Amino acid sequence: MNGGQQVTYAFDSRPAKVSERQPSLVGDPIPRVARLMALAIRFEGLLTDGTIRDYAELARRGHVTRARITQIMKLLDLAPDIQEQILFLPPVNGLNERNLRRIVSTINWRDQRRMFQKFTAAHPGRSSGGHSRRDSQAILLNRVKRTTVAFERR
C-alpha cells in the first residue's frame, strides 16, 4: 500500500435472524454414513478403472490415513440391500460407520441383515423432511458428484 492508504472492513458479528438466513434447498442433510457409503462405491469404481492405483493413493489425495480409507471401503462388505438402505432410507439415530463395524465384520449376509434390522429397530429414525425417495436419491447423487469433483481436484 502507498503511504496514507488505509483499508477498513466492517462486519456484523451478531448471528443473523432466522428471517435473514438463506433458505435451505433441502430439508434434512444426507447422513454422513450415507455419504461415506457413496464414496466407498465411487472409490471402488476409481480403483477398478485404474484412475486411482491403490488405497494409499486414495489416502494421499483425500488427506486421510490409509486406515481410514480401509474403514470406509469395508462398508462395501455389507449386504447389497443394507448398502441401499444406508444410501436411501431416512436418517437413523446412532447409525454411523463406527457402529456398523461389528456388522461389517460379520461375513454372512443373513446375519448382517438380522444385526442391521435389530440395530435400526433399537434406534428409530428421524423424519425424512418430506422428501420422496427419488428426491433423496437425486440429492445424494448431486452431493456425491460434488464431493468426488472436490476430491479429484486435490
Percent of the chain with pLDDT over 70: 62
Query: What per-residue confidence (pLDDT) applies to 147?
Result: 57
Domain that holds residue 142: 30-123+132-153
Q: Domain count for the chain, please give it.
A: 1
Whether 58 maps to a domain, the answer reads yes
Whether 84 maps to a domain, the answer reads yes
C-alpha grid cell, residue 90: 431416512
pTM: 0.66
Whether 23 maps to a domain, the answer reads no
Whether 4 maps to a domain, the answer reads no
Whether 19 maps to a domain, the answer reads no
pLDDT digits (tens, 9 = 90+) for 107-147: 999 999 999 999 998 887 654 444 455 565 566 666 666 65
Whether 11 maps to a domain, the answer reads no
Q: What is the DSSP string of the chain?
A: --TT---------SPPPGGGSPPPSSSSPPPHHHHHHHHHHHHHHHHHTTSS--HHHHHHHHTS-HHHHHHHHGGGGS-HHHHHHHHHSPPBTT--HHHHHHHHT---HHHHHHHHHHHHHHSPBPP-TT--HHHHHHHHHHHHHHHHHHHHH-
Whether 9 maps to a domain, the answer reads no
pLDDT digits (tens, 9 = 90+) for 54-78: 999 999 999 999 999 999 999 999 9
Whether 10 maps to a domain, the answer reads no
